[in-house]
Chains A and B, each alone.
Chain A
């Protein structure tokens, strides 16, 4: 099997920088991390200097994702040798126990960390993810709520809570969590779009109106968000087709839906230019838009 560096003709510095980029941007491409990281550790460990420790951590978590317990164990041993009393390393040991489904042992480990340091957020979050892995969603939600009562600023936790609520079909509470995220990250179009989708799923005239507004906001923040564009079209046409709305609202929504449809057509035209299938796909898009149009009285 050719090594990564041979396959792509890159130096060890490129590989290290790539790992750093994945670390900073929070990628979860575990197989790639394992390939690149394993080679870096085996061949070039002496050249990496102090970077090696954080690479060990990154590769270990990726190895747990890919079921590579051998690699995870060796990384953990190196880290334990270098940082014998570290809470961070203990958490990694707990994660390995979780991967082996030894949840009780993992819980004991996390409890010992928390006894030592009450403010350690990582251990508490791992305990909650154990509950999630065991399928105890209701308990996980309860624990996560308690956690958030004390650490109100943890955005990762708010997002996780919104996901759990969506799984439980409790859309009102999921919307609350997403509102927190939208406030702390007002320029993130993905949170706006997710919030709009939750509101759309909740249904009802007010919620559809809000959904349409937030789809529009997501589009304003990022013009290329196709999902938001389709969402805008669907919510506007749904509102326009509903019998309970006033004439003005209906007129506005018809206008919005028409605009959205024209933008969708434009996008598909742009996508298909130069290819043979463009005519067929354009027709398909038009038909799809027609079928989504709920008949207007």
Chain B
């Protein structure tokens, strides 16, 4: 269905579209540096460090146990999994679920996260809506239903206008999410301006309380270790080795490095 194309004033492009892009980008960069300044040091306790290393050791035992003799492997497996006093059976850590109320550092972290991310977005979104209101900014390339009209066309009261034509506020929100890849290009991975990642973290953070995990992690390791067997990788190593001559290529080259450079 051919519809009459609206021709927008090119001033809109110059004075609305581009400034909004710049504003969004600069605000993102500023957010990144502010988040670095406000970052608090995470202090780990000795027990946490020790537990994480024990879990790593058990995992390595499962994966690379085949490189050590069978006796040694069984000795270590016994140390971890023994019924009466194996490490995983015996150690129970005190579990304190870190709810925001009891853990003051988590509370301040949450607050800082909110201040640096959500607040500017709301403020600037509102300011842009107020400044650049009353006209159409751009057209999204795909057709939208009429239900999107009040959301995307704030300030434009035209019943017959196609919902694809959007106002500057929606252009702003498009930018916030679209510039994410630009941020990783310029600020490197893991930057503080990456909002959607932070929102993802907030959602999964509630499900992933680290200290409470330790007991569950121990149990999971215990099960995994019970199931693994020892397949010695060195059964036929001599036969494999002696099937061909040793490769001495380049071993006795004339050029020996001398001196510092």
Task: Specify the chain B residue showing the minimal Cβ separation from A271.
Answer: B252
CB < 8 Å neighbour of A216 from B60, B238, B259: B238
Q: How far is the CB of B60 from chain A (nearest CB, A)?
A: 5
Q: Contact at B241–A179, with CB atoms within 8 Å? A: no
CB < 8 Å neighbour of B260 from A36, A223, A270: A36
Chain B residues near A119 (CB-CB < 8 A): 44-46, 49
Q: Contact at A210–B69, with CB atoms within 8 Å? A: yes
| CB-CB under 8 A for A220 and B67, given A183-B61, A229-B246 | no
Chain A CB count within 10 A is highest, among B61, B240, B251, for B251
Interface residues on B, range: 20 to 34
Q: Contact at B238–A14, with CB atoms within 8 Å? A: no
Q: Contact at A219–B241, with CB atoms within 8 Å? A: yes
Q: How far is the CB of A27 from chain B (nearest CB, A)?
A: 11
Flag whether B184 is at the interface (Cβ < 8 A). no
Q: How far is the CB of A102 from chain B (nearest CB, A)?
A: 28
Flag whether B72 is at the interface (Cβ < 8 A). yes
The CA of A216 and the CA of B72, in the complex, are separated in Å by: 19
Flag whether A256 is at the interface (Cβ < 8 A). yes
Task: Specify the chain B residue showing the minimal Cβ separation from A191.
Answer: B67
The CA of A276 and the CA of B53, in the complex, are separated in Å by: 56
Per-position 1/0 for A59-76, Cβ under 8 A of B: 000000000000000000
Q: Contact at B237–A182, with CB atoms within 8 Å? A: no
Q: How many residue pairs bridge A and B at CB < 8 Å? A: 94
Q: How far is the CB of B156 from chain A (nearest CB, A)?
A: 52
| CB-CB under 8 A for A153 and B251, given A4-B260, A36-B260, A216-B237 | no
The CA of A213 and the CA of B241, in the complex, are separated in Å by: 10
| CB-CB under 8 A for A183 and B251, given A229-B246, A256-B242 | no
Q: How far is the CB of B110 from chain A (nearest CB, A)?
A: 25
The CA of A8 and the CA of B257, in the complex, are separated in Å by: 13
Task: Specify the chain B residue showing the minimal Cβ separation from A219.
Answer: B241
Task: Specify the chain A residue showing the minimal Cβ separation from B72.
Answer: A179
Q: Contact at B237–A217, with CB atoms within 8 Å? A: yes
Task: Specify the chain B residue showing the minimal Cβ separation from A183.
Answer: B64
Per-position 1/0 for B34-69, Cβ under 8 A of A: 000000000011100110011011001100110111
Per-position 1/0 for A178-197, Cβ under 8 A of B: 01101110100000000000
CB < 8 Å neighbour of A153 from B56, B61, B234, B242: B56
Per-position 1/0 for A26-68, Cβ under 8 A of B: 0000001001100000000000000000000000000000000
Chain B residues near A270 (CB-CB < 8 A): 248, 251-252
Q: Contact at B60–A184, with CB atoms within 8 Å? A: yes
Flag whether A292 is at the interface (Cβ < 8 A). no
CB < 8 Å neighbour of A263 from B68, B245, B259, B260: B245
* Residues on B facing A (Cβ under 8 Å): 44-46, 49-50, 53-54, 56-57, 60-61, 64-65, 67-69, 72, 234, 237-238, 240-242, 245-248, 251-252, 259-261
CB pairs A–B below 8 angstroms (14 shown): A4-B260, A10-B261, A118-B45, A119-B49, A150-B46, A152-B50, A153-B56, A179-B69, A179-B72, A183-B67, A213-B238, A214-B234, A216-B234, A266-B245
